[in-house]
Amino acid sequence: MNTFTLTRPDDFHLHLRDGEHMRAVLADTARRFARAIVMPNLKPPVITTEMAVAYRGRLLAALPQGVRFEPLMTLYLTDNTSPSEIIEAKRSGVIYGIKYYPAGATTNSAAGVTDIARCHETLEAMEQAEMPMLVHGEVTDPEVDVFDREKVFLERMLIPLTQRFPRLRVVFEHITTREAVEFVINAPKTVAATITAHHLLISRNALFQGGIRPHHYCLPILKRETHRQKLIEAATSGNPKFFLGTDSAPHAQFAKENACGCAGIYTAHAAIELYAEAFEQAGALEKLEAFASFHGADFYQLPRNQDKITLKKENWRVPAQLEFGGESLIPFRAGENVTWALDKTGN
Ligand SMILES: NC(=O)N[C@@H](CC(=O)O)C(=O)O
Ligand SMILES: [Zn+2]
Ligand SMILES: [Zn+2]
């Protein structure tokens, strides 16, 4: 197959940052995707409807002329998020999820939840409002091995939570393990998961290929190859509980190439092309459209997109670095080839 046309996809997990950084990365996503669930882990975090509405305004104002793109906003759950904030978020019509970061689990999560028991009334309000909870599913317990933090979160936190709040809609974000895949398959229809392109394409060996590779460092951290295989199986299975969420997470080069480098991989410059590679390698390109364009929209109860994009089988070289608001951003595959290219975007 030399060209491949699919319904325009959506990205159900994306970091767009703010200010100059946001203006540098937004177009990469807007060229490819119709909509994206925009993560709220800014500094300061997006904790109120008012802040989310203002952030949405800045995103729309930064769109290149003539480009249609809909940011689907989220709120950052804290110990103090009130049930009435959930009602207001729902009423706004522009907020589609509440993000649960265990405090300290990942980039800009310091203001996250210290004890989920403090949020029980708020979770009840989310159940009632049908407002999904989006989870960074890793424990922060320093005693737990970094490669086991997702699995342990599942056992200690997520399973009890879904039992206690059976009507709560949950998206287990950027899953990385066999255990997460199996949990989602066996969970009720209210539970779904996003899978990134990088977790489909590389395993933890890529962190240490010939030396330490900070640009492959993200959270949850890359896992061993058997887990990657399981993610590929889930993504290409046709099961509507699994859908596309890039977790594209830009950080400046200096912040990654650092004695204490930040977690996050930037993939928005080639997002759907990278997924096409992963699906083609698995011999399942025909499964990409539902994963990228239908399952997520259906879970979020959004209309499916009507327009199409076309990819062509063509090598192109990813730039060695991208401009990032006066700083430099090293994209995934920097200086190397991607084997699919955007042909027609309709924008
Ligand atoms: N995935 C990451 O490694 N980093 C994300 C945060 C997140 O999604 O956990 C970021 O905001 O940089
Ligand atoms: Zn996360
Ligand atoms: Zn993320």
pLDDT tens for 70-96 read 999 999 999 999 999 999 999 999 999
- Cα separation, 154 vs 215, in Å, equals 27
The one catalytic residue in 141, 145, 247, 343 is 247
Decide if 98 contacts 128 (C-beta within 8 A).
no
pTM over 0.90: yes
Instruction: Give the CA diameter of the chain.
Output: 53
The answer on whether 219 is annotated among ligand-binding residues is yes
pLDDT tens for 252-263 read 999 999 999 999
* Beta carbon of 222 within 6 Å of any ligand 1 atom: no
Known catalytic residue at 298: no
* Beta carbon of 249 within 6 Å of any ligand 1 atom: yes
Q: Which atom of ligand 1 is nearest to the CA of 173?
A: 8
1 CA from centroid of ligand 3 (Å): 32
> What's the average model confidence in pLDDT over 144-165?
98
Nearest CA owner, ligand 1 atom 2: 264
Identify the H or E element spanning 197: helix 197-201
* Beta carbon of 107 within 6 Å of any ligand 1 atom: yes
166 CA from centroid of ligand 1 (Å): 27
Q: What is the mean pLDDT of the chain?
A: 97
249 CA from centroid of ligand 1 (Å): 6
CATH number of the structural domain 3-342: 3.20.20.140
- Cα separation, 303 vs 291, in Å, equals 15
Nearest CA owner, ligand 1 atom 8: 247
312, β-bridge pairs: 3, 341
In this predicted structure, the answer to whether residue 1 has a pLDDT above a threshold of 90 is: no
Confidence of residue 334 (pLDDT cuts 50, 70, 90): very high
pLDDT tens for 45-75 read 999 999 999 999 999 999 999 999 999 999 9
The answer on whether 41 is annotated among ligand-binding residues is yes
307: exposed, middle or buried (C-beta count within 10 Å: 0-12, 13-18, 19+)?
A: exposed
Per-residue pLDDT at 344: 72
Per-residue pLDDT at 346: 57
* Beta carbon of 269 within 6 Å of any ligand 1 atom: no
* Beta carbon of 264 within 6 Å of any ligand 1 atom: yes
* Beta carbon of 37 within 6 Å of any ligand 1 atom: no
- Cα separation, 268 vs 340, in Å, equals 14
- Indicate whether this complex's ipTM tops 0.90: yes
Polymer length of the chain: 347
Q: Where are the domains of the chain?
A: 3-342
From 12, 109, 219, the mutation candidate for ligand 1 (largest count of ligand atoms within 8 A of CB) is 219
1 CA from centroid of ligand 1 (Å): 34
Per-residue pLDDT at 81: 98
In this predicted structure, the answer to whether residue 347 has a pLDDT above a threshold of 60 is: no
4 CA from centroid of ligand 2 (Å): 31
DSSP 291: I
Q: Which ligand is nearest to the CA of 137?
A: 2
Q: Which atom of ligand 1 is nearest to the CA of 106?
A: 9
Q: Which ligand is nearest to the CA of 13?
A: 3
Per-residue pLDDT at 345: 67
Nearest CA owner, ligand 1 atom 6: 107
Confidence of residue 330 (pLDDT cuts 50, 70, 90): very high
pLDDT tens for 228-254 read 999 999 999 999 999 999 999 999 999
- Cα separation, 218 vs 211, in Å, equals 17
- Return the amino acid letter for 9: P
174 CA from centroid of ligand 3 (Å): 7
Task: Give percent of the chain above pLDDT 70.
Answer: 99
> What's the average model confidence in pLDDT over 21-32?
98
Identify the H or E element spanning 316: strand 308-317
* Beta carbon of 136 within 6 Å of any ligand 1 atom: yes
**SS3 state at 93:** coil
DSSP 130-144: T--EEE------TTS
- Cα separation, 249 vs 268, in Å, equals 8
Q: Which atom of ligand 1 is nearest to the CA of 105?
A: 9
> What's the average model confidence in pLDDT over 281-299?
98
> What's the average model confidence in pLDDT over 299-321?
98
